[in-house]
Amino acid sequence: MHQKIIWILLIFITSVNAQQIKSIQLRPLQANNFTAIVPLGTVLELSFDDLDADSKDYQYKIEHMTHDWQKSRLLSSQFIDGFDQNSIINVTNSFNTFQNYTHYEVKIPNVNSIITKSGNYLVSILNDDDEVVFSRKLVLYENAATIGVAVSRSRNTKTRDTQQTVEFTVNHPNLRINNPSQEVHVALLKNENWNEKITNLQPTFFQQNQLKYTYANKTNFWGGNEYLNFDSKLIRNKSLNVVKIDMKNVFHHYLYPSTYKPNRSYTYNPDINGQFVIRTLDANDTNTEADYAMMHFTLYADTPIANKDVYIYGAFNNFKIEDENKLFYNFETSSYQGQILLKQGFYNYTFATVDDNQLVDTNQINGTFFQTENQYTVIVYYKPFGGLYDRVIGIGAGFYNQNR
């Protein structure tokens, strides 16, 4: 019994500590570039805030992974020139904010950690006890193959109005691939969300220097709907989709309510595919002078959705289902309500339902339509017979075009 109590306390403490880490970003240095799938040699910046607002000795750790995200056979000296684990030394405290925090950032690769191989990488942040605080996926690719991607409306009559089909071709004139079914693996991502991916695909046709993947249904994705959004770049004044502001211990921003309509129709709404941008008009240094606001979400529904929970869903927490982004039904107002502490910026989000089997559905509340503008990314891995690791020999990207 005593051990059980200790175990429960450890889980609780870990959960609380995780909630103190906010605004995690792993992105190239260019503005408004959200991808962590980049050419080998590209410099990215990993940054995050710790709301404890103290100075901790966080370390980053870089691990090389297989195509299916298992730890690879390579030693660290075989994929890194330098150290695979090192301390983060760029640490600054927030300035003139109601919510105090400490901002951490590190560039990857850097002079101490130069990555020499393409492939999948897991970048983890470790605390003083060498425990993983969080991890992010990173893909570094070579330009050894050219991948053409085409996205179209589903050809299946049953899903013609709700799904999109992705077809692609891998051209490899400078690589000799003897056995594609064993040497080549592909990953197909929707909006670079690793929760929405298709793998274990075999070429439907191959010839010298070319592989084709032209499935009728196997590479179909639900179209989903455009993401909702809000902008909190002004902490004291209302901005996009913010209808009310209160000041308590921090500013509380109340967002324009949404309504659950099971038979809603598609309406075009430009989005950034679930991503977010930290920004503020109240100060100069976004990293340390942007404040945090408690964002209040409301979803009107005549009755609770049977046997399902409702969550806010987006890249702000790496598309995870967590207690912090759960909404609760209020019978007095006939609405789901919830709140999340988020740093000032422009955010995309949507609503997800989760059933008793933990199946996440991002289409039930906002609908799914073939017209929705989505980005699809094809990642091609190559490991020849006798090879030690999965190279990423190229990537391709395709967008759905309503006029196709």
pLDDT tens column, 146-168? 999 999 999 999 999 999 999 99
Q: Does the pLDDT value for residue 13 go beyond 80? A: no
Residue 56 has pLDDT above 50, yes or no: yes
Q: Which of 94, 122, 141 is the last residue of a domain?
A: 141
Beta bridge partners of 50: 21, 102
Q: Domain boundary at 93, 110, 141, which?
A: 141
Residues 342-401 have pLDDT tens digits of: 999 999 999 999 999 999 999 999 999 999 999 999 999 999 998 999 999 999 999 986
Beta strands in 199-325 (DSSP E): 205-207, 210-213, 220-222, 228-231, 242-247, 251-255, 258-259, 276-278, 292-300, 309-313
Quick one: 116 and 38 in the same domain? yes
Distances (CA, A) of 248 to 49, 111, 234, 293, 297: 21, 44, 16, 10, 17
Record the pTM.
Answer: 0.92
pLDDT at 189 over 90: yes
pLDDT at position 4, please?
43
The two tokens of residue 167 are 């077809």
96 and 161, same domain (yes or no): no
Beta pairing, strands 292-300 & 258-259: parallel
Whether the bond between 262 and the residue before it is cis, its omega within 30 degrees of 0, is: no
The whole domain housing 395 covers: 146-223+371-399
How many residues comprise the chain? 404
On the question of pLDDT at 207 being above 90, the answer is: no
CATH number of the domain to which 164 belongs: 2.60.40
pLDDT for 216 equals 85
DSSP state of 99: S
Q: Give the residue-averaged pLDDT of 197-218.
A: 93
Do 357 and 333 share a structural domain? yes
Same domain (yes/no): 295, 324: yes
pLDDT computed for residue 14 by the predictor: 41
Does residue 8 register a pLDDT over 90? no
Q: How far apart are the first and last CA of the chain?
A: 63
